[in-house]
Amino acid sequence: MNATPRRTVLVTGSTSGIGEAIATAFARDGAEVIVNGRDTQRTKNAAERIRAAAGDGEVRAVAGDVSTTAGVRAVTDAVPDVDVLVNNAGIFDAKPAFEITDEEWIRYFETNVLSGIRLTRHYGPGMVQRGWGRVVFISSESGINIPKEMIHYGATKTTQLAVARGFAQEVAGTGVTVNTVLPGPTLTPGVRVFIAERVGDGISFEEAERRFIAEERPTSLLGRLIRPEEIANLVHYVGSDAASATTGAALRVDGGVVSSIIP
């Protein structure tokens, strides 16, 4: 029986939160993991944490701002080929709809959408040629439930669904799959700050979390913030051999926030 070959996995935006949890999951499984972030030292620090958590896994730090053409080139020059690409890099914040400027709209699309397009365009053909590959876009339930306080974020997450489906159709029948994973509200460093600013008001974070879910995400069936490792579990599966029949799909790991029985 042939052993599964060692995969090379690139996770963009993996210096903290969901991205770091995803990178850790693949490293623990024995993959060669590429940790990516904009800041060189922060990327190195994250790689060291992941390496320590994974034991013997091979973990490399490759800095590059994938929201720019130059940053993508820096990453692809350092890592010409990967077997699994996780397009996780993204930004979010709250802003009244009528105050979002053209520049902010462009920045959101460059970071949340074009980063994944550029990297998929680079790595996808090699995956097709080798007859195996996994591309995963980390979208959000906000791509379905557009939050009125950050429609620029929600719009980019909706766009990712269309982009991933289009790429999946392009690589149909090649052994390469392309999917999106839609997390719900997740306890990351950025979300911790976001919640503290919206409902904190001098209370404990535990109480702020409870209020945020009750007041701003009341459809959650989980009744709490999701933990990054819970997102990583699904992404790890989608990036594995076991998910060979899952492609062109939008897979929710949202704690039931989306009030729909249709994925």
- Distance, in Å, from the CA atom of 146 to the CA atom of 57, rounded to the nearest integer, reads 38
Q: Which residues pair with 34 in a beta bridge?
A: 10, 60
- Cβ atoms of residues 75 and 10 within 8 Å: yes
- Cβ atoms of residues 10 and 85 within 8 Å: yes
Q: Is 123 an annotated catalytic residue? A: no
From the list 108, 123, 153, 237, the catalytic residue is 153
Side by side, the strands of the sheet bearing 133-138 are: 59-63, 32-37, 8-11, 84-87, 133-138, 176-183, 250-253
User: 73-87: string of b/e by CB count within 10 Å (b at 16+)?
Assistant: ebbbeebeebbbbbb
* Burial class, 212, CB count within 10 angstroms (exposed 0-12 / middle 13-18 / buried 19+): buried
- Distance, in Å, from the CA atom of 152 to the CA atom of 147, rounded to the nearest integer, reads 9
Question: How is 171-232 classified by DSSP, letter by letter?
Answer: TTTTTEEEEEEEE-SB--HHHHHHHIIIIITTS-HHHHHHHHHHHH-TT-SS-SPBPHHHHH
Catalytic site positions: 153
